[in-house]
Amino acid sequence: MEYRVKLEVFEGPLDLLLHLINKAEVDIYDIPIAVITEQYMEYLWTMQELDLNLAGEFLVMATTLLSIKAKMLLPHRRQGGEREKVEEEIDPREVLVARLLEYKAFKEAAASLRKMEDRQSLFISRPVEAQSQGWQWVTEKTLGSVSLWELIAAMRQVMGRRKPEPSRARELPRQEITVNHQIEVLWERLGRQPSLSFKAFLRDFPDRSHMVVSFLAILELARLQKIMLVQKVPFGDILIMSLVSPSMQAMPDRDTA
């Protein structure tokens, strides 16, 4: 997976090609394919020498360039019949040019998004954290149910706050935490209050393993439709709400679900 990280620096073969075309100041509709191919290959060698893992896409593009170059070297058969003539008129570069132009359009769109982002960053509105001061968003404009992504993001935030436990050489007594046990803990808490903050609930636990198991307990109860997870605002805290009254009903049985 290493190369994906590197790839973000290079943006991929189309980006490299555009860069070369711009640098050479040539017409994108009439790319001097031999020259550009040579330069492209040089970049590839250098990237290899620098020990950057080249993604397969760069090599695929190299093959494409070489095959276009080869086609362009073939003599044009002008004396052919009408049908062949039509085929001849297709420039081997056309497909590549179309892809480059489309990519270029989106690259420019990305640049204008960046400008809009910069401009918008000057308009500062009330930071979302202001909400955590004991206030809860109540308008009905909820985001509704929470996606797994939002749960994971919230989980990352909670775990991120905690420093990794220092490793100690001495042996610690192994503590068994089970999902079932954490379900009981959560269920008991929901019996006392109708809703619970996701972050506050998880933050109470002493270590990562407790948090992870508790997280799984939340997922399990959500799967069993015993609880509902609601996020009122993007990136806001997630509320755990019981869908059935825990005090009125026994612990949900996982096996019968």
Residues that bind another protein (CB under 8 A): 1, 4, 7-8, 11-15, 29, 55, 57, 61, 90, 94-95, 97-99, 101-110, 112-114, 116-117, 119-128, 130-131, 137, 139-141, 147, 149-150, 152-153, 233-235
- Nearest CB to another protein, comparing residues 56 and 81: 56
Residue with tokens 């999902």: 179
Residue 12 or 191: the one with the smaller Cβ distance to another protein is 12
Strand partners of residue 195: 241
Give the nearest distance from C-beta 102 to another protein in angstroms. 5
Residue 22: CB minimum distance to another protein, A: 15
In the complex, the smallest distance separating the C-beta of residue 235 from another protein, rounded to whole angstroms, is 6
Instruction: Quote the least distance from Cβ 14 to another protein, whole Å.
Output: 4
For residue 230, the surrounding DSSP H or E stretch is strand 227-231
Report how far residue 219's alpha carbon sits from residue 163's, in angstroms, rounded to the nearest whole number. 24
Which two structure tokens, joined as six digits, stand for 239? 């509320």
Instruction: Give per-residue burial for 103-137: e unless 16+ CB within 10 Å, then b.
Output: bbeeeeeeeeeeeeeeeeeeeeeeeeeeeeeeeee
**For another protein, the closer CB: 166 or 234:** 234
Q: Which is nearer to another protein, 28 or 224 (CB)?
A: 28
Count of CB atoms situated within 10 Å of the CB of 88? 12
Contacting residues for 228 by C-beta, under 8 A, at least 6 apart: 145, 222, 240, 241, 242, 243
**Min dist. Cβ of residue 222 to another protein (A):** 18
Q: What is the DSSP letter of 140?
A: S
Comparing CB distances to another protein, the nearer of 144 and 206 is 144
Amino acid at 84: E
Contact by Cβ (8 Å): 213, 179: yes
Task: Kindly tell me which of 24 and 98 has the beta carbon lying closer to another protein.
Answer: 98
Least separation, in Å, of the C-beta of 103 and another protein? 6
